Amino acid sequence: MKILSIETSCDETAVSIIDATGTYEASDFLMQVLGNALMSQMALHAQYGGVFPIMAKREHQKNLVPVLTDTLSQAGMLTTIDESTLSKDTLDKIQYTLKMEGELYAQLLVFLTSHIEPDIDAIAVTYGPGLEPALWVGICFAKALSIAWDLPVVPVNHMEGHILISLLRNEDEVISQKFLVLSKDTSGPTHDSGLMTIDSLAFPSLALLVSGGHTELVLMKDWMHYEVVGQTRDDALGEAFDKVARLMDLPYPGGPQISRLAEEARVEELPSAYKQTRPMIHSKDLDFSFSGLKSSIRRLIESQTVWTQTQKQQLAREFEDTVTDTVVAKVKHAVAEYGIQTLIVGGGVSANKHLRLSLESFAHDTGLQVYLPAAKDATDNALMIAIAGYFRAEKKQFAELENIRAKGTLPLI
Ligand code: KG4
Ligand code: ZN
């Protein structure tokens, strides 16, 4: 089955096409990436220090058709025609669907009337969680393509995508090595060519989801069944990285910047400094809180007028160590409480090298199998939506177009 997926929940406009077969129950899932393109709005939002939903929406409108074109071209599915085969009725319906997205409609009309329908079986689109204006653009785009090409649409939960992409492996890697720690620290599995699969998963499994909007511990007793057993009470982990980076005058998104400085502090073996309390480390529940830590760092920064590069490196390291210690402690707690067999880590912050190494080391010491995404797949992309979309489409979980609505705070259930 060929799935075309669309992701616009935050500041990345992404489209991918996969060709997949098999099921997770039978452990015979196989897929190939036919096309995978992404346009990031990061540079634009960096000027303002964060993502503005209305600006993100406008950029998605501009970028969707070029990103779709790129993806179809990679897949060898971009064929031009001289004359459109779409009826007036179909074109009217598309215009109505994109009535709030004039610029997108104009571009899509040109595209649809000059290209042949691609060989796709279903469209997957993120409908939440995320920024609602941004999500709506992707949803309306998916609906318009569904009308044009007469394809079913499967709505996908963005966080399910983050979980499933962490399980992705190169097929030869899985066959040749049944090893305990399956992650690669930096490169991870490549999907540039060749077949990909996902490993059979031992349950109960625990998913740690750490991104710009989420910090959650999710219990999975079976495939596609989720129970959130712990979450942040205030800032998400990625948000904490971004806010602390902003306090330190580092550009958005701050996660990779803090990570870089902290790494320098480790390489240079700088003495530890600016000791912070590990928040909620002794609480009996599985919840997190990062806003107190952020306030403490703000006070620290304001207490000193000049910060040398060395001091910045030390501060970044202390922040990264603090949040990592907290996350590892909570994971440890959850693993013991629920008799966890496998640990899955997903979301943008799972690109963080120190966090990855710490979780791998914990998993190794406990004999726990851990799945981390390839660093390049950790942040938002459309491939993760295609994988989740395939599993839902394979179970015929399609939705009526009029019932697909953006849900900013969509939970995982
Ligand atoms: O999953 P994602 O791409 O978007 C959301 O769904 O939120 O996550 C983005 C977040 C940002 O807060 C960014 O600073 C953080 O992931 N991030 C990192 C790293 N790379 C991205 N945080 C820490 N270390 C990194 N290397
Ligand atoms: Zn995300």
pLDDT beyond 60 at 9: yes
198 CB within 6 A, ligand 1: no
CA of 254 to the centre of ligand 1 (A): 8
Q: How confident is the model at residue 192 (pLDDT cuts 50, 70, 90)?
A: low
- What is residue 356's predicted lDDT score, i.e. its pLDDT? 97
CA of 130 to the centre of ligand 2 (A): 8
The secondary structure of 3-29 as a DSSP string is: EEEEE-SSSEEEEEEEEEE--TTTT--
- What is the amino acid identity at position 24? Y
Instruction: Spell out which residues have Cβ within 5 A of ligand 2, the ion.
Output: 211, 380
Helix, coil or strand: residue 399: strand
166 CB within 6 A, ligand 1: no
* Nearest residue by C-alpha to atom 7 in ligand 1: 212
Query: 266: how many CB neighbours lie within 10 A of its CB?
Result: 14
- What is residue 45's predicted lDDT score, i.e. its pLDDT? 84
349 CB within 6 A, ligand 1: yes
- What is residue 306's predicted lDDT score, i.e. its pLDDT? 95
CA of 212 to the centre of ligand 1 (A): 5
How many angstroms separate the CA atoms of 200 and 25, rounded?
A: 8
- What is residue 188's predicted lDDT score, i.e. its pLDDT? 57
Residue 100, Ramachandran bin (φ over 0: left; ψ between -120 and 50: alpha; else beta): alpha
- What is residue 186's predicted lDDT score, i.e. its pLDDT? 43
279 CB within 6 A, ligand 1: no
Q: Which residue has the higher pLDDT, 215 or 52?
A: 215
How many angstroms separate the CA atoms of 155 and 159, rounded?
A: 12
Tell me 348's DSSP state. Answer: G
pLDDT beyond 80 at 348: yes
pLDDT tens digits along 389-406 = 999 999 999 999 999 999
Cβ within 8 Å of residue 98, ≥6 positions away: 104, 105, 108, 140, 141, 144
- What is residue 36's predicted lDDT score, i.e. its pLDDT? 97
Task: Summarize the confidence of residues 110-138 as an average pLDDT.
Answer: 98
140 CB within 6 A, ligand 1: no
* Nearest residue by C-alpha to atom 3 in ligand 1: 379
Mutate to test the pocket of ligand 1, among 13, 160, 379 (most ligand atoms within 8 A of CB): 379
Tell me 250's DSSP state. Answer: P
- What is residue 194's predicted lDDT score, i.e. its pLDDT? 83
E-strand ranges in 256-361 read 342-346
pLDDT tens digits along 351-370 = 999 999 999 999 999 999 99
pLDDT tens digits along 293-309 = 999 999 999 999 999 99
**Tokens linked to 266:** 């480790």
- What is residue 62's predicted lDDT score, i.e. its pLDDT? 97
* Nearest residue by C-alpha to atom 26 in ligand 1: 352
Query: Under a CB-based contact definition with an 8 Å cutoff, are residues 147 and 94 in contact?
Result: yes
- What is residue 184's predicted lDDT score, i.e. its pLDDT? 38
- What is residue 49's predicted lDDT score, i.e. its pLDDT? 81
Q: How far is CA 350 from CA 28, 182, 311, in A?
A: 27, 14, 25
Task: Summarize the confidence of residues 343-349 as an average pLDDT.
Answer: 97
Q: Which residue has the higher pLDDT, 202 or 46?
A: 202
Atom of ligand 1 nearest to the CA of 379: 3
CA of 349 to the centre of ligand 1 (A): 4
**First-residue to last-residue Cα distance in the chain:** 25
Q: How confident is the model at residue 173 (pLDDT cuts 50, 70, 90)?
A: low
- What is residue 189's predicted lDDT score, i.e. its pLDDT? 63
Q: How confident is the model at residue 172 (pLDDT cuts 50, 70, 90)?
A: confident
- What is residue 178's predicted lDDT score, i.e. its pLDDT? 35
How many angstroms separate the CA atoms of 200 and 1, rounded?
A: 20
251 CB within 6 A, ligand 1: no
Mutate to test the pocket of ligand 1, among 241, 385, 412 (most ligand atoms within 8 A of CB): 241
Percent of the chain with pLDDT over 70: 95
Give the mean pLDDT of the chain: 94
pLDDT tens digits along 253-293 = 999 999 999 999 999 999 999 999 999 999 999 999 999 99
Task: Summarize the confidence of residues 318-345 as an average pLDDT.
Answer: 98
Task: Summarize the confidence of residues 156-173 as an average pLDDT.
Answer: 92
Atom of ligand 1 nearest to the CA of 254: 14
Cβ within 8 Å of residue 91, ≥6 positions away: 109
Nearest ligand for residue 385 CA: 2
pLDDT beyond 50 at 153: yes
Query: Under a CB-based contact definition with an 8 Å cutoff, are residues 87 and 348 in contact?
Result: no
Residue 227, Ramachandran bin (φ over 0: left; ψ between -120 and 50: alpha; else beta): beta
pLDDT tens digits along 76-110 = 999 999 998 899 999 999 999 999 999 999 999 99
Cβ within 8 Å of residue 34, ≥6 positions away: 2, 17, 18, 19, 74, 75, 76, 77
